[in-house]
Structure 1
Amino acid sequence: MRFLKPLLLLPLCWLSAVHAGTAIVIGGALKSDNDAVWERIVEEAGGPGARIAVFATAAANPERSAGLIVATLNRHGANAEAIPVAPRLKDVDLQAQLNNPALIAKVAASKAVFFSGGAQEFIVDTLQPGGQPNAMLKAIWQVFDGGGVVAGTSAGAAIMSRMMFRDAQDNLQILKGQWRERQEYDRGLGFVGPELFIDQHFLKRGRIGRMLPAMRSLGFKTGLGVEENTAAVVKGSQVEIVGARGALLVDLSEATSDARVPAFNLRGAVISYLDRGDRHDLKTGVTTPAPHKLREAKIDPTASDYKPYLRHDQYFLDILADSAIVTAMAQLLDSPFPEVRGLAYRAKPRPGDLSPDLGFEFRLTKGPGMVGWFSGALGGEDYTVLKVRLDVTPVRMATPLFTPLQAN
């Protein structure tokens, strides 16, 4: 497999511009009672009474989705209003709405824009047809460049980077090389800047499996995978995690691949798990754990007083399972073992499966600078884990993986 597709690039002026706004990237499945995230959106937009334009462009039922979002934002003090721009809105002339001067002016006068979940291709196809921003998208950029907020959940988060997953639901198919322009990937809108790649529903759906090959293909060195019901607040180079869980930071600046191997492979990736309340500076690479974490002792495997809490070794038979990659990172940090391994494979091939017997072994090791923190202060077993080394090796799986024992 070779990722040699030509890159889709936005105009150079977009890539070099310094934007004053705040991007709030929500990993999807945002609950209405997640006050930390909803209140942060309103706060960043200017506080009580902030005018927020809600786009349910991606939604299957735009009226319902927009109504729920507007109601929740207003309950948290905003002055939110739905903008009727969505391909699936009934009895609405989409092009007329996109070019409606009054509607465009209303968006431009807002302090924040919120994108719902759904299908992210609807957002880019509606606001950036043929890769060029239309008048409505320019109004949204006016909000952002004026120091306003662009927030988005699920599909609304996917569009935040300059390149995005368009429709790439099968992690293993991406690992195995299924990678087509305007099918698995497409241009995004680029609110987090040109150098950061975004993914969502990240831990729940094991999307480390698709992020790594996507970043290698598209030339990104830094990626941020945000978990469900969680937000990453991105302001310039500063990232803060807010909400229920955390986000995985992927650094491929020193990663290499062996071109002689006929499948995706990777050596020397560095991954970090940023938990709720943690802050990270993308420019300096410095992470500041949440205050409640800093009240606990730092876990440093190289320290003379290191006392690992976990005593058992573990091999992850499905490293792409719900939260498995972060569980493996915590296992590595808080156990005496130098590495943790896991498999990504499909025991039962699906129709059209590329290379049914191809799998991938993920090897996590304790590298230079690996440290972490643990806290139970918020009612869970919460880790922050920094600078885990990750290698991915393609492997040939047995088919079938196992056979039943026969009676004597």
Structure 2
Amino acid sequence: MFRNIVRIALAVAVFIFASAAQAAEPAATKGSLVIIGGNLRPDNAAVWERIVRLAGGKNARIAVFASASATPERTGKILVNRLKLYGADAFFVPIAVKMSGTDYRTLSEDPIVADQVREAGGAFFAGGDQERITTALRRPDGSNSRVLDALWEMYRGGGVIAGTSAGAAIMSSTMFGEPKTVLATLKLGVEDGREIAQGLGFVGDDVFIDQHLLVRGRFARMLPVMLAKGYTLGLGIDENTAMVVNPAREVEVVGYKGALVVDLSQASSSDGPFNVSNVRLSYLDNGDRFNISTGAITPSADKIDGKLDPAKPYYREPLFSADILGNSTVVDLMSKLIDSDQREAIGLSLGSSAAVQPDLGFEFKLTRTPDSIGYESAVTESYSVYNMRLDVRPIEVRRPLYQYVDGAGTERLHVATMAGN
């Protein structure tokens, strides 16, 4: 009898614990994200129309947040008018740190404003300074304001949240706060509360997001952040381009350029100057798809029949770049390497003699592996490159760089490097 009572009590306790745990889990999300890498052009109809369609189509209500802008009223007005040109019934939400004549803390708790956001079909976050967004929408103790809760309710209920530049940075739980240059970030690392801060986390806690990625060589600064915060997956999106994330966590690239998938699941790093091995990079071009949950990548329709044959390479010379952090350089090297008779490509990043730690640089080695796959579009001649290995190691730069004259009396550039430990 006593044993039966104990069993019943234990069963009830397990049921209560399981129910409480289930209640604590976040509600399933039915909405979508449109994560834009910045500099979204007014004529990029593919992205603007997708935002409006995901918000409900013609006359969809879209709340415009210019909270990140230094001139929120002006920026908000431009974005409202632009969304209206693409068929939305957009409206401005006047919650911004830099907006004169208003109290952003009071407005972020206003039940009327919160209801307007909650009942909208979507929200659009402008670019600027992402910490202005989190300051405006979070309370001083870090908890959600009433309007931020309304944004989450709208998103979980099936709405779309779009953001460009700073509006993209807030999509992950960790975002850049006051970052250094890309090269200085590699040299000096990152610190919570300074270079990195807490984002709003709409994409989930397991994915790190960065923007302006290829134009500014920012793929490299993702690596120290991901290692420091324990991320194994990062998504970086370039300018005038969007990653559309649906409720099933499938990502579609839409726009001018593309996105990088940064996979650290097999990577290893060592102490001392930044040094990481076996990072996996994939470049997704317009129309390509990536499943966050499964890791599966699908090329766009115009590339599906354009899988590259390693036995028929186009490029047949060593591949090297003296500025791997240059505009789209990493993708150019990846595209050439996947269609090359070479096994690896080397890129360097060196700083000015006046920069921090001027004698420290980095070597980036891209390697084709048996898992590396490339596709080429028969229409645009653009590439998609999946599963390429990246190793980054420190190098010592011996100065001065100009240190000899050839037989004809011409000064030649000489960079002497030595592998770091």
Q: What is the TM-score of this pair, normalised by structure 1? A: 0.91
Residue identity (%): 44
Contact in 2 for aligned 1:42/1:76 (Cα 8 Å)? yes
2:94 partner SS: coil
Matching of residues 9-20 of structure 1 within 5 Å:
17-20=27-30
Distance 1:343 1:147 in 2: 45
Contact in 2 for aligned 1:333/1:371 (Cα 8 Å)? yes
Partner of 2:83: 73
Bigger radius of gyration among the two: 2
Partner of 1:224: 235
Q: Does 1:155 align with 2:166?
A: yes
Matching of residues 288-327 of structure 1 within 5 Å:
288-296=298-306, 298-301=307-310, 306-327=311-332
Compare relative contact order (CA 8 Å, sep 6+) and give the higher one, 1 or 2.
1
Contact in 2 for aligned 1:26/1:230 (Cα 8 Å)? yes
Distance 1:250 1:95 in 2: 37
Partner of 1:6: none
Give the 4+ runs in structure 1 shifted more than 6 A. 12-15
1:320 partner SS: coil
Matching of residues 2-401 of structure 1 within 5 Å:
17-129=27-139, 130-235=141-246, 236-259=248-271, 262-296=272-306, 298-301=307-310, 306-350=311-355, 353=356, 355-378=357-380, 381-401=381-401
Distance 1:315 1:157 in 2: 32
1:367 partner SS: coil
Alignment deviations for residues 241-267 of structure 1 (CA, whole Å, 9 cap, x no partner) = 0011100000000100123xx111111
Alignment deviations for residues 331-379 of structure 1 (CA, whole Å, 9 cap, x no partner) = 11011000001111213333xx1x221111000101131111112514x
Cα pair distance change 1:300/1:218, threshold 3 Å? farther
Distance 2:174 2:122 in 1: 22
Q: Counterpart of 2:394 in structure 1: which amino acid?
A: P
Distance 1:266 1:42 in 2: 41
Distance 1:31 1:328 in 2: 27
Cα pair distance change 1:164/1:312, threshold 3 Å? same
Superposition CA RMSD, Å: 1.8
Deviation at 1:18, TM superposition (A): 3.4
Distance 2:131 2:24 in 1: 20
| Count of paired positions | 385
